[in-house]
Chain A
Amino acid sequence: MSGERYTKDHDFVRVEDDVAIVGITDFAQSQLGDIVFVELPSPGRRVAKGEQLATIESVKAASEIYAPISGEVVAINDRLESSPDLVNKEPLGEGWLLTLRVDDASELEDLMDEDAYRAFLESEG
């Protein structure tokens, strides 16, 4: 499987081998506004799909990020500690949040591919 997969919460997952890079979409960052703090879990933590995974604080409010798939946190993006605005600037690139070791690749099938996500965005208006 190549390319990004998306959740209805506007998170993305990009799988490389058995590790998934997790972040938020450009739409999500534009909705949040200027991001000032990102709280990430400790590497090694196991999360189930749908479990609270991270918190993103914008100037105005805190938003929870839920695990798009189950797995173990492998690495977190340390640069966000000093530069949380990377999530605004390059959400799909340098502003990634963390990587997960994928427990069950079939969970990825439940997520949207790019075309489906684009259609979903349009349907949300």
Chain B
Amino acid sequence: MSESHAPPTSTMPEKTPLDALHRALGARMTPFAGYELPLHYPAGVVAEHSHTREKASLFDVSHMGQSILGGRGAAERIESLVPAAIADLHTERTRYSQLLAEDGGVLDDLMITRLPGRDERLLLIVNAAAKQQDFALLRQQLPQLGLSVLSGRALIALQGPRAAAALATVLQELDLESMPFMGWRAAEFRGAGLFVSRSGYTGEDGFEISVPNHLAEPLAEALLAHPDVAPAGLAARDSLRLEAGLCLYGHDLDATTDPVEAGLAWSIGKRRREQGGFPGYERIRAALEHGPARLRVGLLPAGRAPLREGAALAAPDGRIIGRITSGGYSPTLSRPIAMGYVESGFATPGVTLESRLRDKPVAVEVTSLPFVPHRFFRGPAGKDRS
């Protein structure tokens, strides 16, 4: 999802089905990954960010790639490209994983859901900037399966502690209490099928709702009619995911990073660790066994000035031992925060490193992630984890 991975800018950016609504709401639009999307609305990024943490925000994430991979053995076959355990993924459950290159580098990160029904089908949600490359890879590597790209659907994220209450007023027949985080349900809105996933990119409870293009605006308007729901743009989406310690592809994750050093070992299934069968298994197994050479960590720059992506991190002896991959300001903590990769020997909370900003030294403390605790919904008794 990075600008640097965006398609050539010679073509006009695409508009999403919510384009007219964004403009009516006074959004400041920005090109992103080949699309024109709201950067922020008149409320501004800090207000949008805080509203998401306190109530609920609506984000247009229609730029993301939605597709269905279907065919006999789809769940088992996709395991040849990703390190997550998908063969044993339950119906209507979602797992986070990564498409890997031969050397174990991350080509993209994605959400994989096993859909209900007689046919074996997986719903894949991938990043906008990588979607053409991802779809080509899936078709090339899994020719026995069918990949249908859902270009006729928009994607709306509703995120925040009031998201479930707001969604319940619009989709009244949906039982949200029985739907855990990383759960999935089909729903109906004005006679058309919605895909409702309880997931998100903010660290809060929330939903990503796939909706046919022609119903995207009515659905967004119905959600925005709830008093606790306000629109939020890409800038708030970025500051929210940074506080939640979540990776942004093209920045914190790319083809040079493997899932273990990225701190994503939790997403590699136990069976997969033991048996392998995915690209880069040798590198990933070695990293799991002996520890990776570098690790993604949280970083707290001293003072009030944010440190940005690319800033070098030095050990006390002056040696460069890491680099910031995402940095900005945390509205929740009212201070600068960052993430980056450091040599494993320095990846301990409390270690102090040094960076430079405009030719002045800045102390940077290594800290654990996330910066703001996750508040995912775990089901009525917290029992529903798969």
- List A residues at the B interface (Cβ < 8 Å): 33-34, 36-37, 39, 55, 57-62, 81, 84, 88
User: Closest A-chain residue to B360, C-beta based?
Assistant: A39
- A39 pairs with B328, CB closer than 8 A: no
* Interchain CB contact (< 8 A) of B305 among A34, A57, A60: A57
* B329 contacts partner chain A, Cβ-Cβ < 8 Å: yes
Question: For residue B40, which residues in chain A have a CB less than 8 angstroms away from its CB?
Answer: 33
Docked CA distance A57–B239 (Å): 14
Docked CA distance A59–B28 (Å): 15
Q: A33-B44, A57-B329 are in contact. List 12 more A-B contacts (CB 8 A).
A: A34-B44, A34-B45, A36-B46, A36-B304, A36-B329, A37-B305, A37-B306, A57-B306, A59-B331, A60-B39, A60-B45, A60-B328
* A–B complex contacts, Cβ < 8 Å, 14 sampled: A33-B44, A33-B235, A34-B44, A34-B46, A36-B46, A37-B305, A37-B336, A57-B305, A58-B45, A59-B45, A59-B46, A59-B235, A60-B39, A62-B306
Question: For residue A61, which residues in chain B have a CB less than 8 angstroms away from its CB?
Answer: 308
* B358 contacts partner chain A, Cβ-Cβ < 8 Å: yes
- A59 pairs with B358, CB closer than 8 A: no
Contact with A along B228-244 (1 / 0, CB 8 A): 00000001001100000
Question: For residue B329, which residues in chain A have a CB less than 8 angstroms away from its CB?
Answer: 36-37, 57, 59
Question: For residue B336, which residues in chain A have a CB less than 8 angstroms away from its CB?
Answer: 36-37
Contact with A along B25-68 (1 / 0, CB 8 A): 00010000000000110001111010000000000000000000
Question: For residue A39, which residues in chain B have a CB less than 8 angstroms away from its CB?
Answer: 305, 358
Docked CA distance A55–B336 (Å): 15
Name the 10 nearest CB pairs between A and B, nearest first.
A36-B329, A34-B46, A59-B45, A37-B304, A37-B305, A34-B44, A59-B329, A34-B45, A60-B235, A57-B306
- B308 pairs with A62, CB closer than 8 A: yes
User: Closest A-chain residue to B305, C-beta based?
Assistant: A37
* Chain B min CB distance to A46 (Å): 18
Query: How many residues of B are in contact with the other chain, CB < 8 A?
Result: 20
Question: For residue A55, which residues in chain B have a CB less than 8 angstroms away from its CB?
Answer: 305, 358
- List B residues at the A interface (Cβ < 8 Å): 28, 39-40, 44-47, 49, 235, 238-239, 304-306, 308, 328-329, 331, 336, 358
* Chain A min CB distance to B51 (Å): 13
- A59 pairs with B308, CB closer than 8 A: no
* Chain A min CB distance to B236 (Å): 8
* Chain A min CB distance to B105 (Å): 28
Question: For residue B39, which residues in chain A have a CB less than 8 angstroms away from its CB?
Answer: 33, 60
Docked CA distance A61–B40 (Å): 14
* Chain B min CB distance to A64 (Å): 9
Question: For residue B331, which residues in chain A have a CB less than 8 angstroms away from its CB?
Answer: 59
User: Closest A-chain residue to B40, C-beta based?
Assistant: A33
- B308 pairs with A33, CB closer than 8 A: no
Question: For residue A34, which residues in chain B have a CB less than 8 angstroms away from its CB?
Answer: 44-47
User: Closest A-chain residue to B308, C-beta based?
Assistant: A62
* Chain B min CB distance to A12 (Å): 22
Docked CA distance A57–B362 (Å): 16
Docked CA distance A68–B54 (Å): 42
* Chain A min CB distance to B25 (Å): 16
* Chain A min CB distance to B3 (Å): 12
Docked CA distance A37–B239 (Å): 16
Question: For residue B44, which residues in chain A have a CB less than 8 angstroms away from its CB?
Answer: 33-34, 88
Docked CA distance A52–B46 (Å): 27
Docked CA distance A59–B329 (Å): 5
Question: For residue B49, which residues in chain A have a CB less than 8 angstroms away from its CB?
Answer: 59
Docked CA distance A55–B304 (Å): 12
Also in contact, A60 and B238, with CB within 8 A (given A36-B304, A37-B306, A37-B329): yes
Docked CA distance A17–B78 (Å): 74
Docked CA distance A58–B336 (Å): 11
Docked CA distance A57–B303 (Å): 13
* Chain A min CB distance to B70 (Å): 40
Docked CA distance A62–B49 (Å): 19
User: Closest A-chain residue to B42, C-beta based?
Assistant: A30
User: Closest B-chain residue to A64, C-beta based?
Assistant: B358
- A33 pairs with B45, CB closer than 8 A: yes
- A59 pairs with B239, CB closer than 8 A: yes
Docked CA distance A81–B305 (Å): 10
- A59 pairs with B304, CB closer than 8 A: no
* Chain B min CB distance to A11 (Å): 19
Docked CA distance A84–B46 (Å): 13
**Interface-centre pick from A57, A59, A61 (highest chain B CB count, 10 A):** A59
Question: For residue B305, which residues in chain A have a CB less than 8 angstroms away from its CB?
Answer: 37, 39, 55, 57
**Interface-centre pick from B45, B49, B238, B336 (highest chain A CB count, 10 A):** B45
Docked CA distance A49–B27 (Å): 35
